[in-house]
C-alpha cells in the first residue's frame, strides 16, 4: 500500500507523560488491568455509561431535540406528526430523522411503542453513537499524545457536565459531534505519526461528508481540516480529484436524492440552509448575541471547571493544529448573530482532550527522581496534585450534571409523559398548548393521533415589520389573547401552560369549566423569560 509523508510533528506532539512502561507499570488498578486492556472493553464501558446517561437525562434543553428529529421521524413511521416551518422551507435534511424512523418501525413491530419506550428509545439509540464518539476520542488522543493522555482524555469526556447533558440528546449537533471526532481520527494532517495510509484519509473524508450532510454547518470544521491537509500533503492533485471530489459527490448526492424523494420535488437542502442562515441572517429571528459571547460565556459555561486544565494543556502540549481548529470554529460562529451552546459542541471533545493532557502531566509518576530512588511504593502513589484535580473536577461537575439532567426544566417532558399515559387510557380528546411555541415535545412522545394545537411562531414578513406572532401576543396579554382565541376554538379537553401565565388565566379558565388536573415542577430560576417554575395541566370538567 502506498504511504505518504505527513507534516513533521512538533516535539510536544510526541510527548507522553513519563512512565517506565505504560503497558505494564502504570498502576491504575482495575481500570488499567481490565478496562484499558482492549478497545472492545473501553467501548463496552462507554456504552454502559452512555445508556445510563440517556436514562438519567430527563430534562428539556432545546426544541430541536424533539421537533427536528423524532417528531419528523414519527410522522414518517406512523403517519402523523408536526412538521415545523423549516421543513416547509426545505432547509432540513431527512438523513438524521431517518435514523429514528428505523427505530420506531422496530418498536412498532415488537409492540414496544408505549409511553416509556417512545420517550427513552431515541436517546438510548443516540447513546450508542455517543459511546462510539467516546471510544474515538480515546483513539484520537492515543495517536496524538499517547496512551496515558488518552485515558485522562476519556476521563475528562465522561466527567464533563455539558457532554453528559447533551450526548444522549437527539439533536443533530450530538450526532455531528460524534462524526467529527471519528473523522478527525482518520485525517493524516491531525495525527502526530509521520505515516498514514490513504485508506485512512478516505475514511476521514467519507465521515466528514456524512457530518456535512447531517448538518451543513459542519463544513466550517472541515474547511479548516481540508485546507490543512492540502497544505501538508504531497499528493495534492490526487487528494482533490480522486478523493475529495468523488467521495463528496457520492455522499452529498445520495443525501440530496433522499431529500428529493422525501420532499417530493427537486431540492438542494444545503443551498437553502446556506441562504437562510448565512445570506439572509434568518437565524437572527431567534435572538442574537455579541461577537464575544462564545469566548466570554458560551464555551466557558460548556467546559466549566475543565477550562483551566484545557488551557494549560494547549499551552504545554503546543498542539496548535487542534487549538487552531477550536479557535477557527469559535471565531466563525462568533461572526453570526444567532448563537447557541450546541453550535460549538463538536469542538468540545478537543478541549477535553487537552484537559486530559494536563491531567496526564500531573499523573507523571515515572519521574527520573522516583526512578533514581528506586522506591516502587513511592512511584506507585498517586500525586497529591492529581488527587486534588480529580476531586475538584468530580465535585464541581457531578452536582451540575445531576441538577441539569434531573431537575432544571424537566416540566415539559413530565407533562408529555403524563398526557401520553392519559391518552393511552383514552382520557384525552384534544390538547391546547398555551406556552411559548415548541416549549414541549409533541406527537413523538404523546404517540396518539389526537388533535393538538400550539401557538405559532414561524418567521414571517410581518414579524420583520414588528408584528408579533401568536406566541408573543399571548405572552403580552394572556387573558385578552385567550378570550379572542376561545371564540373560534373547538374546546380542548386539556390545556397546558406555565404557571407564570396560569396565574393570570386561572379565573378565566375556571369560568370556562376547567379545573387544575396536574402541576409539574419545571425550574428554580428563569432562563430567557420570566420564571417558569412549574407547568400546569387543566382539564375540562365535563
DSSP calls for 167-193: TTS--HHHHHHHHHHHHHHH-GGG-SS
**Distances in Å between the alpha carbon of 220 and those of 67, 347, 445?**
24, 11, 33
Inter-residue contact 67 to 85 (CB < 8 Å): no
pLDDT in tens, 86-97: 998 899 999 999
| Residue bearing the bigger pLDDT, 366 or 261 | 261
For the chain, give the mean pLDDT: 88
- The pLDDT assigned to 281 comes to 66
Inter-residue contact 119 to 445 (CB < 8 Å): yes
pLDDT band at residue 314 using 50, 70 and 90 as cut-offs: very high
Inter-residue contact 350 to 134 (CB < 8 Å): no
**Distances in Å between the alpha carbon of 329 and those of 134, 347, 348, 350?**
21, 8, 11, 12
pLDDT in tens, 265-274: 999 999 998 8
Inter-residue contact 515 to 539 (CB < 8 Å): yes
pLDDT band at residue 416 using 50, 70 and 90 as cut-offs: very high
- The pLDDT assigned to 465 comes to 60
The 3-state DSSP class for residue 196 equals: strand
pLDDT in tens, 441-452: 999 999 999 999
Give the whole-angstrom CA distance, residue 382 versus residue 260: 58
**Distances in Å between the alpha carbon of 72 and those of 231, 423, 444, 519, 536?**
41, 21, 8, 28, 26
pLDDT in tens, 195-207: 667 788 999 999 9
Going along the chain from its start, the domains and CATH numbers come out as 39-367+382-400 (no CATH), 410-540 (3.40.50)
The 3-state DSSP class for residue 449 equals: coil
| Residue bearing the bigger pLDDT, 399 or 88 | 399
Give me the phi and psi of 521, to 5 degrees please: -65, 145
What distance lies between CA 488 and its chain's CA centroid?
A: 40
Give the whole-angstrom CA distance, residue 192 versus residue 189: 8
- The pLDDT assigned to 21 comes to 39
The 3-state DSSP class for residue 268 equals: coil
pLDDT in tens, 347-389: 999 999 999 999 999 876 544 333 344 433 444 567 888 899 9
Amino acid at each position: 500500500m502506498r504511504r505518504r509523508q505527513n507534516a513533521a510533528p512538533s516535539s510536544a506532539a510526541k510527548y507522553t507523560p513519563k512512565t517506565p512502561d505504560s503497558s505494564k507499570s502504570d498502576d491504575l488498578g482495575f481500570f488499567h488491568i481490565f478496562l484499558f486492556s482492549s478497545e472492545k472493553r473501553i467501548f463496552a464501558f462507554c456504552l454502559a455509561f452512555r445508556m445510563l446517561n440517556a436514562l438519567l437525562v430527563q430534562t428539556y434543553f432545546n426544541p430541536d431535540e424533539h421537533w427536528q428529529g423524532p417528531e419528523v421521524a414519527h410522522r414518517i413511521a406512523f403517519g402523523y406528526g408536526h412538521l415545523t416551518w423549516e421543513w416547509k422551507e426545505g432547509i432540513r435534511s431527512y438523513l438524521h430523522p431517518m435514523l429514528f424512523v428505523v427505530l420506531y418501525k422496530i418498536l412498532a413491530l415488537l409492540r414496544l411503542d408505549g409511553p416509556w419506550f417512545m420517550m427513552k428509545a431515541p436517546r438510548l439509540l443516540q447513546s450508542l453513537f455517543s459511546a462510539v464518539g467516546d471510544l474515538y476520542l480515546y483513539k484520537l488522543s492515543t495517536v496524538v499524545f499517547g496512551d496515558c493522555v488518552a485515558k485522562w482524555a476519556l476521563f475528562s469526556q465522561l466527567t464533563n457536565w455539558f457532554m453528559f447533558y447533551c450526548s444522549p440528546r437527539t439533536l443533530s449537533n450530538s450526532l455531528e459531534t460524534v462524526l467529527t471526532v471519528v473523522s478527525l481520527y482518520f485525517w493524516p494532517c491531525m495525527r502526530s505519526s509521520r505515516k498514514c495510509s490513504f485508506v485512512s484519509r478516505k475514511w476521514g473524508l467519507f465521515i466528514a461528508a456524512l457530518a456535512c450532510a447531517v448538518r451543513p454547518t459542519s463544513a466550517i470544521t472541515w474547511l479548516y481540516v481540508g485546507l490543512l491537509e492540502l497544505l501538508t500533503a504531497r499528493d495534492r492533485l490526487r487528494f482533490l480529484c480522486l478523493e475529495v471530489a468523488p467521495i463528496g459527490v457520492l455522499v452529498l448526492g445520495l443525501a440530496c436524492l433522499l431529500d428529493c424523494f422525501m420532499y417530493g420535488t427537486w431540492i438542494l437542502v444545503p443551498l437553502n440552509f446556506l441562504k437562510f442562515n448565512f445570506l439572509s441572517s434568518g437565524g437572527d429571528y431567534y435572538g442574537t448575541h455579541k461577537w464575544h459571547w462564545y469566548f466570554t460565556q458560551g464555551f466557558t459555561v460548556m467546559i466549566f471547571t475543565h477550562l483551566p486544565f484545557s488551557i494549560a494543556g494547549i499551552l504545554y502540549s503546543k498542539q496548535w493544529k487542534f487549538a487552531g481548529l477550536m479557535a477557527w470554529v469559535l471565531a466563525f460562529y462568533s461572526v453570526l448573530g444567532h448563537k447557541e451552546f450546541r453550535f460549538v459542541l463538536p469542538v468540545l471533545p478537543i478541549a477535553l482532550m487537552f484537559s486530559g493532557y494536563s491531567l496526564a502531566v500531573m499523573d507523571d509518576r515515572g519521574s527520573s527522581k522516583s526512578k533514581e530512588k528506586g522506591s516502587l511504593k513511592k512511584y506507585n502513589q498517586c500525586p497529591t496534585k492529581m488527587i486534588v484535580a480529580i476531586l475538584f473536577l468530580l465535585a464541581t461537575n457531578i452536582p451540575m450534571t445531576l441538577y441539569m439532567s434531573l431537575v432544571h426544566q424537566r416540566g415539559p417532558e413530565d407533562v408529555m409523559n403524563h398526557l401520553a399515559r392519559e391518552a393511552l387510557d383514552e382520557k384525552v380528546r384534544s390538547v391546547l398548548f398555551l406556552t411559548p411555541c415548541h416549549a414541549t415535545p409533541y406527537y413523538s412522545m404523546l404517540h396518539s393521533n389526537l388533535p393538538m394545537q400550539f401557538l405559532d411562531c414561524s418567521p414571517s414578513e410581518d414579524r420583520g415589520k414588528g408584528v408579533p406572532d401568536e406566541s408573543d401576543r399571548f405572552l403580552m396579554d394572556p387573558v385578552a389573547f385567550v378570550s379572542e382565541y376561545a371564540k373560534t376554538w373547538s374546546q380542548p379537553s386539556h390545556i397546558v401552560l406555565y404557571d407564570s401565565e396560569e396565574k393570570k388565566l386561572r379565573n378565566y379558565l375556571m369560568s370556562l369549566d376547567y379545573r387544575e388536573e396536574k402541576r409539574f415542577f419545571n425550574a428554580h430560576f428563569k432562563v430567557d423569560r420570566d420564571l417558569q417554575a412549574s407547568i400546569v395541566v387543566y382539564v375540562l370538567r365535563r
